[in-house]
């Protein structure tokens, strides 16, 4: 009996305890259910807030087309509608842009070639250089930035120039130029024999010194075909790395919807049709030196130039 009574007592006690436990479990379940939902909502709100602050407090919307850290194993192509610009000029079938856009490739030029060309750029530009942070050396015309103006390296340094540049260097430049031309032809469906090298085509070295003349103001948005009527395709071969060799200096395509950047990487080639569908600018370099080569092409044989060569 005692046992039975105790049993009953125990039973009623234990059921009371069980109820408590069940209630506790239910509360815990309810609160963990809330936690499970609250945390993702909080994260969502926080991300939303951060991106809102990002878009509000940075003046432009930036989309990275290709980052420095990526190594493209094939060309990355972005097509855009061609502007009307080409209609103002004579049309050369097989060359005049009918398909427009931008592309980036890391397989046209090897890193080794880029390093050689970079040494060439460094040596050439070290002969003088602009006071204002943006120095150029045009191997074709011989124009080299010096202080607030330009000199002709071939005339200024005469035979000494052969201590700086060799036939082999010029051969490398020609090979690279030929491969870039093929890549452009392939991407835009052109006959590469109808494309010609045009001027200016130059090495550039940009550092953070402030501009002294308008020649140093490389960061203004511009359209290559407006600046140089002869241009139909523009290409850039980067010789140094964004974020490693220099800060700032990203290439920016400025579309009405957003700005799209290409981050320089040694050996990376970026090319695009030169009309107003490709309005662009280069960000100001904040530290280090940004080396690149601009190689431009025309469809008009009247504006063709030969590969640069030692005089």
Ligand X SMILES: *[C@@H]1O[C@H](CO)[C@@H](O)[C@H](O)[C@H]1NC(C)=O
Backbone conformation region of residue 66, classed left if phi is above 0, alpha if psi is from -120 to 50, else beta: beta
Per-residue binder mask for ligand X (CB under 6 A), 205-224, x = binder: --xxx---------------
The catalytic residue positions are 290
161 binds ligand X (CB under 6 A): no
Instruction: State which of residues 9, 32, 51, 258 lies at the interface with ligand X (CB under 6 A).
Output: 258
Site for ligand X in 57-76 (CB under 6 A): 59-61
Considering only residues 135, 187, 201, 296, which one is a binding residue for ligand X as defined by CB under 6 A? 135
* Phi, psi of 246, deg, nearest 5: -155, 160
Contact status, residue 285 vs residue 208, Cβ threshold 8 Å = yes
For the bound state, the minimum distance from the C-beta of residue 279 to ligand X, rounded and expressed in Å, comes to: 10
Residue 254 binds to ligand X (criterion: CB under 6 A): yes
259 near ligand X, judged by CB under 6 A: yes
Per the CB < 8 A criterion, the answer to whether 175 and 307 are in contact is no
Q: Is residue 181 close enough to count as binding ligand X by CB under 6 A?
A: no
Nearer to ligand X, 99 or 212 (CB): 212
Q: Which is nearer to ligand X, 60 or 159 (CB)?
A: 60
List CB contacts of 276: < 8 A, sequence separation 6 or more. 83, 85, 223, 225, 226
| Region near ligand X per CB under 6 A, out of 83-91, 130-138, 170-178, 267-275 | 130-138
| Phi, psi values for residue 40, rounded to 5° | -60, -35
d(CA 135, CA 71): 28
């Amino acid at each position: 009996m005692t046992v039975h009574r105790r049993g009953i007592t125990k039973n009623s006690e234990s059921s009371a305890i069980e109820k408590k436990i069940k209630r506790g479990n239910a509360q815990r379940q309810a609160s963990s259910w809330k936690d499970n939902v609250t945390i993702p909502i909080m994260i969502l709100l926080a991300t939303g807030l951060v991106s809102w602050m990002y878009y509000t407090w940075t003046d432009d919307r930036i989309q990275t087309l290709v980052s420095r850290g990526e190594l493209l194993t094939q060309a990355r192509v972005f097509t855009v509608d061609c502007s009307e610009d080409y209609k103002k000029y004579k049309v050369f079938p097989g060359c005049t842009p009918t398909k427009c856009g931008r592309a980036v490739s890391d397989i046209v030029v090897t890193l080794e070639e880029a390093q050689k060309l970079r040494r060439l750029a460094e040596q050439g530009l070290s002969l003088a250089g602009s006071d204002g942070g943006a120095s150029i050396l045009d191997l074709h015309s011989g124009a080299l930035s010096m202080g607030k103006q330009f000199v002709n390296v071939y005339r200024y340094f005469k035979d000494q120039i052969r201590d700086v540049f060799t036939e082999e260097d010029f051969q490398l430049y020609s090979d690279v130029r030929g491969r870039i031309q093929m890549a452009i032809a392939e991407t835009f469906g052109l006959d590469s024999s109808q494309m010609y090298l045009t001027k200016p085509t130059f090495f550039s070295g940009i550092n953070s010194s402030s501009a002294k003349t308008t020649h140093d103001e490389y960061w203004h948005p511009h359209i290559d075909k407006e600046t140089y009527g002869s241009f139909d395709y523009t290409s850039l071969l980067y010789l140094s790395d964004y974020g490693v060799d220099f800060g700032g200096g990203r290439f920016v395509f400025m579309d009405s919807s957003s700005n799209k950047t290409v981050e320089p990487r040694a050996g990376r080639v970026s090319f695009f049709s030169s009309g107003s569908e490709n309005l662009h600018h280069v960000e100001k370099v904040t530290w280090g030196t940004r080396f690149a080569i601009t190689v431009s092409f025309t469809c008009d044989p009247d504006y063709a130039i030969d590969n640069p060569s030692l005089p």
